Amino acid sequence: MTPFEHRRAGRVSDAVVWLRETPDAKLLAGGQSLLAAMKLGLAAPPLLIDLGRVPELLVLREEGAGLWIGAMCTHASVAASPLVRARWPGLARLAAGIADQQVRNRGTLGGSVSNADPAACWPAGLLACGATLVTDRREIAANDFFRGLFTTALEPDEVLLGARVPAPTPLVYLKEEQPASRFALTGVAIARGADGVRVALTGLGHGPCRWPEAEAALTRRFAPEALAGLALDPQQAAGDLHASAEYRVHLAGVLARRTLQQLLSHP
């Protein structure tokens, strides 16, 4: 691995200053993606800015009727939170289904959404519940945050502070797992709120996205029959050694029906 400097930030402002001072510096959350990329030679940042001891990024709390999840909250801490389990159980289950206990203990909400892996679970959940991503300088609707494969709206020197999740709405996320990692071969999240139904997809290969046709159909009629005949175009997916594009879009349809059934039986 190329030599690099490691610095611990005590405040978000330290991280912002250091990112500006050192081109190609990287923020370090739990290291679950970044360190692996460095070991493979896919990234060689001269400086790692460790966010592990920035207290404000570790906050998980109710915020009015909604929920604030700090960027450095681990998947395990969200999954175990009595608040999230009681009021946002769909998100608690999503977090509990990520990877294995070791990865959940280190991997963070902020690292997951900033990395924007096309098979990650959080992006689908946040898109479906209409969350807002908050940075050191602005608020970005989840819809505008994810820009495709490993791409987000974040500027190179921008620090994600956390996610603001609206008041609870019934939400279910289901995925067909890639058995070695538990990343989503395809994953579907459906949420039914006062402002309509949101259907979000992950794992198709081009980055997380909404499924507008399914949303329109379910807004007209919130029943499995509404999804009959709806299918994504395989062009909207990508194939790899785990699954073809055709298989992924087929799974999206199957999972959407299952997700809806679960939502109807255990809202």
Ligand X SMILES: Cc1cc2nc3c(=O)[nH]c(=O)nc-3n(C[C@H](O)[C@H](O)[C@H](O)COP(=O)(O)OP(=O)(O)OC[C@H]3O[C@@H](n4cnc5c(N)ncnc54)[C@H](O)[C@@H]3O)c2cc1C
* Interaction site with ligand X (CB under 6 A): 26-34, 51, 71, 75, 98-99, 103, 106-108, 110-112, 114-115, 120-122, 154, 159-160, 181-183
Q: Indicate the residue among 31 and 193 with the shorter CB distance to ligand X.
A: 31
Q: How far is the CB of 196 from ligand X (least distance, A)?
A: 25
Q: How far is the CB of 249 from ligand X (least distance, A)?
A: 20
Q: How far is the CB of 55 from ligand X (least distance, A)?
A: 14
- Mention every residue, 6+ apart, whose C-beta is less than 8 A from residue 148: 116, 206, 207
Q: In what order do the strands lie in the sheet with 209-210?
A: 171-177, 184-193, 196-202, 209-210
Rounded-to-10 torsion of CA 73, 74, 76, 82? 0
Q: How far is the CB of 223 from ligand X (least distance, A)?
A: 29
User: Using CB atoms, what's the residue nearest to ligand X?
Assistant: 111
- Mention every residue, 6+ apart, whose C-beta is less than 8 A from residue 222: 192, 197, 260, 264
Q: Indicate the residue among 30 and 205 with the shorter CB distance to ligand X.
A: 30
Select from 234, 107, 131 the least CA-distant residue to 181.
107
Q: Indicate the residue among 32 and 217 with the shorter CB distance to ligand X.
A: 32
Map 79-113 to HEC letters: HHCHHHHHHCHHHHHHHHCCCCHHHHHHCEHHHHH
Q: How far is the CB of 195 from ligand X (least distance, A)?
A: 26
Select from 6, 210, 60 the least CA-distant residue to 128.
210
Q: Indicate the residue among 64 and 179 with the shorter CB distance to ligand X.
A: 179
Q: Indicate the residue among 106 and 216 with the shorter CB distance to ligand X.
A: 106
Q: 112 with 73: CB under 8 angstroms?
A: no
Dihedral-angle region of residue 56 (phi above 0 means left; psi in -120 to 50 means alpha; beta otherwise): alpha
Two tokens at 89?
């159980």
Q: Indicate the residue among 77 and 169 with the shorter CB distance to ligand X.
A: 77
Q: How far is the CB of 224 from ligand X (least distance, A)?
A: 26
Select from 6, 106, 5, 10 the least CA-distant residue to 57.
10
Q: How far is the CB of 25 from ligand X (least distance, A)?
A: 9
Q: 132 with 139: CB under 8 angstroms?
A: yes
Under DSSP, the state recorded for 153 is S
Q: Indicate the residue among 189 and 237 with the shorter CB distance to ligand X.
A: 189
Q: 161 with 138: CB under 8 angstroms?
A: no
Q: How far is the CB of 259 from ligand X (least distance, A)?
A: 16
Q: Indicate the residue among 98 and 172 with the shorter CB distance to ligand X.
A: 98
